[in-house]
Each structure stands twice: as structure tokens, then as C-alpha cells.
Amino acid sequence: MDFLTKNDIIYQKLKDKIIDGMLKPGERIIISDLAAEFNVSPMPVREAIKRLQQDEFVEVIPHIGARVATFEVDKMKEILLILTELEVLAAKLAIPYINEGEVKELEALIGEMETAIEDQDYRVYAELNKEFHGYIYSVSPYHYLRELIMGLWEKSSFYRTLFTKSSTRPKESLKEHKEWLDALRQKDIEKSQEILRSHKEKALEVFFQSYESEK
């Protein structure tokens, strides 16, 4: 088991609050308040904020302090478009390495995703969705490509907040994952790429619809 420092714990909790929308874009982050909340000195809070700044979840303004990063729709669009191309490539490269064991693991994840939808726990569904994609890309030897993809997933975490507010998208997404798994099982590269590209494009469309409704 990995040992988590106070810095790690505060970093993750703050990031989760930002992703879940509990901390809003532009909202100030007061170090002394967080130190009191987590019962720690200011040092691990500052370290966590510095990491969040590096990951672009937080902005530090001179003479003002830290605040949740403001949302830039053009940046998010760019990230999601790049992700689409990288994921389509990664899925293609992974297919030769998909065996019966991998298919069973993916089927198990599908089952968990179905349960999350039944429970209307869309935050869990979003995490399982990420795990499903990441697992497929991890079976190939192209680990740097997977690192690039998962890093961009982290940067697009705000998108998942909007995704979970859609009442219909998770069910549609699950259906698309099942179709994708069928293509992987058949080792059909062309069909796999077609399904995944359509899946990502629909997700992008939902993102913009949700974003406009939030404005």
C-alpha cells in the first residue's frame, strides 16, 4: 500500500472538491482555513496548492492568493479534440494485445458501470468509465501514449462534472461501451475506431450542451 502524506491527502481532497463542483471556478482558497479544516500546519496546504497549480486546477494571483482556476472553454475543446485522436490511436494499437482475460476484466467493469447507473451514482460511473478506457490502453506496450492520455483526462476533469449532470448520457455511454467491447472481442480495428470516435464526439457534444446550460 502506498503511503500518503498530508500533502497527498489535502491535494486529492481539494481536487475532488473542484471536480465535483463544491469549489467553484474563481473561488478563493484560504490557506489558514484549510489548515484548520485538516488540522495541519500551513506548509502541507501550500504544497498541495502548488501541485494543483501545476495541474492547472488552481491559479495563484500575486498579492491576492490562490483561487480555483477559471474555466476556459477553448482550452477544454482543444483537450477533448486531442484526446479523441490519441484514444482512437491507442485503441487501434491495443487490439492485438486484447485476449480473453482482458475481455473478462472489461466485462466486469461493464457490470460495475451498470450498477452505478442503477444506483444513479454518476460520479462512480465517470470513474469507472475512465478505468475502462485506461485498462484498454494499458494492455499494449505503448505506455507513454497511455500516460499522455490519462494526463489529459485529469486536465479535463471539469468536463466529468458536466457529464454527470446529464440524465441520459450515462445510459447512452454504457451502450457505446458494450458495442466497443464487442468490436474489441472480435479484434475489429476499423469498427473499434469508428465506435470510439463516435463515442468521443457525442461526449464532446454533451459537454458543450451542458456548458451552455450552466452559463
SS3 annotation, 19-74: HCCCCCCCCEECHHHHHHHHCCCHHHHHHHHHHHHHCCCEEEECCCEEEECCCCHH
Average pLDDT of the residues of the chain: 88
Kindly tell me if the per-residue pLDDT of 115 is higher than 60: yes
| Mean pLDDT, residues 70-86 | 86
| Mean pLDDT, residues 107-121 | 95
Domains of the chain, earliest start first: 6-68 (1.10.10.10), 73-214 (1.20.120.530)
Which pLDDT score is estimated for 163?
A: 56
Residue with cell 504544497: 47
pTM, full prediction: 0.80
Which pLDDT score is estimated for 2?
A: 55
Kindly tell me if the per-residue pLDDT of 166 is higher than 80: no
Count of other CB atoms within 10 angstroms of residue 12: 13
Which pLDDT score is estimated for 121?
A: 87
Which pLDDT score is estimated for 1?
A: 39
pLDDT band at 192 (very low <50, low <70, confident <90, very high): very high
| Mean pLDDT, residues 118-124 | 87
Nearest to 149 by CA among 63, 215, 53, 83: 83
Name the H helices within the chain.
6-19, 31-38, 42-54, 73-94, 100-118, 122-138, 143-155, 157-163, 169-185, 189-214
CB distance 164 to 123 below 8 Å: yes
Which pLDDT score is estimated for 160?
A: 62
